[in-house]
Amino acid sequence: MVRNESPIGIFDSGVGGLSVLRAIRAALPDEALLYFADSRYAPYGKRDNAFITARMLGIVQWLEAQHVKAIVVACNTATVHTVSILRKRFQMPIIGVEPGIKPAALRSRTRVAGVLATASTLKSVRFNTLLTQYGSDCRFICQAGHDLVDDIESGDTDSPVVMRHLLARLQPILYASADTLVLGCTHYPFLLKAVHVLTDQQLKVIDTGEAIARQLMLRLTDQHLLIKPDPPVTQVESIFLPTPLRFVTTGDALQLTRMTWQLLGVNVAAEHVEIASDSG
């Protein structure tokens, strides 16, 4: 049974969705969160549509069995291909993420913006609809980077290798005189420092994490599903309260435990689960 105290399920192919979890935690600190990383099958950016949809259906069924009250698909690649299928099939609120083309078109002065996303996102119908809908008077230089997702999955966000991979993606964007950069993959906010170093802060960076958290808050408010916090506790009491965070992966649990510590400063032991795909 879903109650106000039930967790919010947050899903990604790997650790990228932790950037969205961070924004949700900042906006809704009392909510219990259940994070799911499908790391055994990451990166999704190289996978085809049918594969991603079958993984998503299997995982959302699992999350439903954990009684989550809402799901955030914290993965652009999964959202652009499957969010509409999920919404038809499941009753609970499902919030997706997609590249911030609209805010980039609103903010760019040079009318040139870069987009970093997966190859799968860039060739999707949904992404190309966003470009025609909101970006028609703006030039978008789109760059795909699986190597960057692999780097972040292995815990590397600032080594010379990552810098080289990132520079190769940023150069065409800078040469085209872009002043704005859309982070169209939830892994990339973990490269923000590296982007600033390599571009000397020349690019306005658009990350949709906070907008997703706001949208989630609105949906939960609408459906009367926000948690009702207990009477306030003192700081000392709060130390003894259980952390309402759970991390689950189809990959290596120890690696996810390390990554939540490295990327978020959160120390919770992750669990391993096996989830079968559902090809419908």
Catalytic residue IDs? 75, 185
> From the CB of 46, what's the least distance to ligand DGL, in Å?
7
CA distance 183 to 20: 12
CA distance 83 to 72: 10
Closer Cβ to ligand DGL, 6 or 82, answer by number: 82
Question: Of 84, 79, 94, 169, nearest to 124 (Cα)?
Answer: 79
Residues near 63 by beta carbon (within 8 Å), at least 6 away in sequence = 9, 11, 34, 36, 71
Closer Cβ to ligand DGL, 121 or 257, answer by number: 121
Closer Cβ to ligand DGL, 45 or 100, answer by number: 45
Hey, what are 252's tokens?
A: 């290596």
CA distance 129 to 259: 34
- Are 32 and 1 in contact, with CB atoms under 8 Å apart? no
Closer Cβ to ligand DGL, 149 or 170, answer by number: 149
Question: Of 108, 128, 84, nearest to 206 (Cα)?
Answer: 108
Closer Cβ to ligand DGL, 212 or 220, answer by number: 212
CA distance 219 to 213: 10
Under the rule (CB under 6 A), what is the footprint of ligand DGL? 12-14, 16, 42-45, 75-77, 118, 121, 149, 185-187
Identify the burial level of 242 via C-beta atoms within 10 angstroms of its C-beta, where 0-12 means exposed, 13-18 middle and 19 or more buried: exposed
> From the CB of 159, what's the least distance to ligand DGL, in Å?
19
> From the CB of 80, what's the least distance to ligand DGL, in Å?
8
Question: Of 209, 201, 208, nearest to 180 (Cα)?
Answer: 201
> From the CB of 52, what's the least distance to ligand DGL, in Å?
9
> From the CB of 227, what's the least distance to ligand DGL, in Å?
26
CA distance 31 to 226: 8
Question: Of 70, 35, 68, 38, nearest to 53 (Cα)?
Answer: 38
> From the CB of 157, what's the least distance to ligand DGL, in Å?
14
